[in-house]
Amino acid sequence: MLFSGVAQHFSKVEAIDSRLEMSGEIAGLLQGCKPSEARQLVYIMEGNVAPSHEGLDVGIGEKFAIRALAKTSGYTVHRVEADYKKSGDLGATAEALLAKKAQLSLSSSENTLSKVYASFLKIARMSGAGSQEAKIGVLSELLNGATPLEAKYLVRFCLGKLRLGVGDPSIIDALSMARHGDKTDKAVLERAFNLCSDLGEVSEVYLSGKDLSRFSAAPFKPIRPALAERLPNAKEIIEKLCSDEKDEGKTPIISRKCAVEAKYDGLRMQVHLKDGEVEIYSRKLEKMTHMFPEIVEAAAALPAKNAIFEGEALAYSAREKKYYSFQQTIQRKRKHGVEKMAEDFPLRLFAFDIMYLDSEDLTLTPYLERRKILEKLVRNNKAIVPSDLIYTDSPKKLDEYFQRALSEGLEGIIAKDLVQPYVAGARKFAWIKLKKSYGELADSVDAVIVGYYLGKGAREEFKFGGVLAAVRNDETGALETIAKIGGGFTEEEMSSLAEELEKIKTKEKPRGVISKLEPDFWVEPKIVITVAADEITLSPMHTAGSVGGTGYALRFPRMVSMRDDKSPADATTVREVISMFEMQRRKSAQ
């Protein structure tokens, strides 16, 4: 497949607002691919050359891309920079300059999709002395054989700004449409993706005609973590998890127990073990193995040939017999000074689920059985211990356990249905969390920063006055605003946040952000923060869940913490906000 054809499809996708139409256009592109090409294409649409957990980065910044473009087009670096300053989009600049090339190529060949992918993979793997010049050379070769439209997307890809507005849900829909013309296989595609976090692999397997219903988890392919729903009190949790049927008066009949587990405010870890080798993945599925030598050593000593399990790690002081806060624990997530931090803040991993053991996929196994397998696996391990829990069908006992957890400085509890499988990558009522109250809110909100405001008055020196934050619409993939936040920041946080936001600010509102407000600067939606508020209100100023021009907003919002361990894909959804609003109304009516 020629990359010029890919670029033409990308141009059409960029002009489409409807997610369904977007998926249809991508489906048409996928139908023209070989299965191996589909894998490459999916990685490129995701902005990667490999699944994100592999950590491969193309690593070409603006300055180097400008040099490659100048070298290819025949224009000076100064001219390229001047055009880029006007357009604000180096891809658009590349398209314009190559359309009126100042010099003719002596020899060039058309770019195929496979050649483009192989070139970017080569760039990503380059390192060491001379690697930057070599990267510029490879990009220049691609641009030399590119049409102006191809150049637009080649340059954008290098900078991580493809601007298609295509997310994984749209690609999954497109894959099903490519084979069936509809979304028939959406659920089976989602499950396979959730089990391996590699949509490129799923694409190749699926378009090869293989049966994805037999797709299995495997070590060193991180599973997208299961997520918990929310309910406002112990009574509703017990009714939801412990009742099978209702009588004529609609009163739930409690027929079984559920597990109620302490909810630790630490670092979520997914531990993979195979033949003595260990990898640890973060909540965002990034490798962070080298940061936690004591967990690696403990996992390697487990009595298993291979395994995948997860837990929450907290920094622990054996001398003081106490656990440190999340802000202290997260200091362990670092590239340098690992050994010293391991001494000062040793970790204890509270394992709470297991998804794979000795070549057997356990994700479809009921929770109670998984729990017994987990407890047997980590028995007598000092650094990896099972999470604390009780089994109950009593709202009173659940609430007592919840209050005890809060008194011990924990976040709250998670109740689990004993008969449910591990629901990878989804928020289902198999798990239900109950956390300390934030005013009328049942929980805090994890929001994505989409813009920021300059400081005024006392904050002028920080060049930071607050942020515009959004939640994720899981139906459309859009980010919809929910709060303008100016409180909760320390002076140190304001200074460091201003520095980080400066790096990712953009001239235009990012594609996929829905906002009525106009911040001083838009930013690429990369940073997630946890936000507390007094309540959720209806507001004509915000777009979260907007109906008839009125959306949901946070009243008196303030930042609780930066969430380096979360990505925009982990942000609170509009559906969750609406659910929290309804819980708030029920609480107010009591």
Which residue has 């907007």 as its token pair?
Answer: 546
Q: Could you tell me the CA-to-CA distances from 287 to 39, 54, 220, 452 in Å, in that order?
A: 22, 8, 10, 30
Spot the catalytic one: 152, 221, 263, 435: 263
How wide is the angle at C-alpha 588 spanned by C-alphas 584 and 589, nearest 5°? Answer: 120
- Return d(Cα 505, Cα 499) in angstroms, integer: 10
Distance, in Å, from the CA atom of 405 to the CA atom of 387, rounded to the nearest integer, reads: 12
Integer Cα distance of 69 and 156 in angstroms: 12
Contacts of 236 by beta carbon, 8 Å cutoff, 6+ apart? none
Give the list of residues 6+ apart from residue 461 with CB closer than 8 angstroms, or none.
455
Residue 253: phi, psi to the nearest 5?
-100, 110
Extract the tokens encoding 512.
């996929």
Q: What is the DSSP string of 416-468?
A: E-TT----TT-EEEEEEEEE--BTTBSS-EEEEEEEEE---GGGGGGT--EEE
Instruction: Residue 369: count other Cβ atoms within 10 Å of its Cβ.
Output: 13
Return phi, psi of residue 324, to 5°: -85, 165
How do beta strands 347-357 and 384-386 pair?
parallel
Count of alpha carbons within 13 Å of 31, Cβ hemisphere only?
A: 14
Burial (0-12, 13-18, 19+ Cβ within 10 Å), 443: buried
Distance, in Å, from the CA atom of 207 to the CA atom of 179, rounded to the nearest integer, reads 7
CB 68 within 8 A of CB 136: yes
HSE (CB half, 13 Å, CA atoms) of 410? 21
Residue 263 annotated as catalytic? yes
In 3-state terms, what secondary structure has residue 325?
A: coil
* C-alpha–C-alpha distance, residues 500 and 527, integer Å: 9
How far is the C-alpha of 44 from the C-alpha of 116, rounded, in Å? 10
Distance CA 355, CA 33 (A): 34
Chain mean position to CA 441: 24
**SS3 (DSSP) at 346:** coil
Tokens of 55: 């950590």
Strand partners, 354: 309
CA count, 13 A, side-chain hemisphere, 282: 22
**CA gap 54, 221 in Å, rounded:** 9
What are the residue numbers of the active site? 263
